[in-house]
Structure 1
Amino acid sequence: MVTDPISDMLTRIRNANMVKHQIVQIPSTKMSKSIAAILKEEGFIQDFELYTEKSFEYILISLKYKGNLREPVISKIQRVSKPGSRVYANSKTLPKVLNNLGLAIISTSKGVMTNLKAKELGIGGEVLCYIW
């Protein structure tokens, strides 16, 4: 059992990117499905799909690379809020990642979304991770 499924997901993606794997398998949770949907919507991954094996549900994420040298689209993925140290931001103090070239994933009362969408809606929440 994993104590922090978000960190586990981000670490699996980071490790698969370093060795240039095409797909990565992640245990499925509501939060990891939401994060995968945001990553697909923002163009950081090609696609993701759910599958069940021996009554356990998993997410298969197809990683995205660019060029003949297969440079990963995700150059850095970093966990911000941790179980021992939560990081919150209101709508006025939402983080800008690389001057809005990257994104921050925020868990709000309206669901999981990017920092830009949360700013647009005028709500804050827990800052889960930075991606660029």
Structure 2
Amino acid sequence: MPVNDPVGDMLTRLRNASRARHDKVVIPHSKLKLEIIKVLKDEGFIGDFVVHTLEGTPQSEITVQLKYGPDRSPAITGIRRVSKPGLRRYAGVNDIPQVLGGMGISILSTSRGILVDSEARKQKAGGELLCTVY
């Protein structure tokens, strides 16, 4: 079934699996989704991920290992899509929002690739606000 917003679908899969306390979630592969997942891993919101192809299908998949605290509380308490296909949101370097006073992250698509808000400020690069994670 075709999806109008693949990034939004990925974020919803992560949110739902995290709330349901699943150990892993399978997401259809794309370069943009893979870069977002790499950022989430670097920031400590997910455990690990594996990209694998299934025989007989043209689409690869990403299996994401979710991360939980010692009391089984999820590392991702909130994940929200900011820029949607119907309304794109862009931010200059001085307008990049802080999430929960710096406790969360914003993920941006910039001319220098997919970056976290703090890294985008360091590199003085604005771009499209993809999502916020806390």
TM (norm. structure 1) is 0.97
Task: Give the equivalent residue in structure 1 for 2:18.
Answer: 17
2: distance between equivalents of 1:24 and 1:18? 12
After superposition, give the CA deviation of every residue in 1:88-132 in whole Å (9 maximum; x if it has no partner). 000011110111110000000110010100000001000000000
Task: Give the equivalent residue in structure 1 for 2:8.
Answer: 7
Task: Give the equivalent residue in structure 1 for 2:127.
Answer: 125
Equivalent AA in structure 2 for residue 126 of structure 1: E
**How large is the RMSD of aligned CA atoms in angstroms?**
0.7
Matches within 5 A, 1:91-130: 91-130=93-132
1: distance between equivalents of 2:4 and 2:114? 20
Tell me which protein shows more strand as a share of its residues. Answer: 1
Structure 1's consecutive aligned runs of 4 or more residues displaced over 6 angstroms after TM superposition are none
Equivalent AA in structure 1 for residue 63 of structure 2: L
1: distance between equivalents of 2:10 and 2:81? 10
After superposition, give the CA deviation of every residue in 1:37-75 in whole Å (9 maximum; x if it has no partner). 00000000000110111332000000000013x110100
- Which of 58, 61, 69 aligns to 1:58? It is 61
Equivalent AA in structure 2 for residue 67 of structure 1: P
1: distance between equivalents of 2:58 and 2:6? 18
Unaligned runs of 5+ in 1: none
1: distance between equivalents of 2:65 and 2:31? 18
2: distance between equivalents of 1:122 and 1:56? 35
2:80 counterpart SS class: strand
Matches within 5 A, 1:43-82: 43-53=44-54, 54-68=57-71, 70-82=72-84
